């Protein structure tokens, strides 16, 4: 005999779509047992971590936008900073 938390069992049954304790426990065990296989399959997929063909298209688009912006700068309406030559330092005048 195994002591199983009824609340956890009921939540698992709702999540798994099962109706009996036996089906819920078996489905939960199968889910956990297959977890590593699913993780490995995900990590081995060329589309998993943004490394597939879609990522190449995104990188190409970002590069094209950056090149365009570099060639055609758009003023943002901010004041420009003008380089000025500082006035030469002079000795303070003394009052006589």
Contact (Cβ atoms closer than 8 angstroms) between residue 24 and residue 18: yes
d(CA 28, CA 21): 11
User: In 3-state terms, the chain is what percent helix, strand and coil (to 5)?
Assistant: 55, 0, 45
Which pLDDT score, from 0 to 100, does residue 74 have? 73
Residue-wise pLDDT for 20-65, tens only, equals 999 999 999 999 999 988 888 877 776 666 666 667 777 888 889 8
Domain ranges of the chain: 1-44, 50-75
50 burial via Cβ count (<10 Å: 0-12, 13-18, 19+): exposed
| The pLDDT value given to residue 78 | 65
């Amino acid at each position: 005999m195994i002591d199983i938390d009824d609340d956890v069992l009921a939540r698992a049954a709702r999540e798994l779509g099962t109706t009996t304790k036996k089906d819920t426990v078996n489905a939960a065990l199968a889910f956990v047992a297959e977890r590593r296989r699913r993780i490995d399959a995900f990590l081995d997929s060329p589309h998993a971590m943004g490394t597939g063909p879609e990522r190449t298209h995104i990188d190409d688009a970002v590069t094209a936008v950056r090149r365009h912006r570099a060639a055609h700068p758009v003023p943002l309406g901010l004041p420009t900073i003008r380089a000025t030559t500082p006035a030469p330092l002079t000795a303070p005048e003394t009052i006589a």
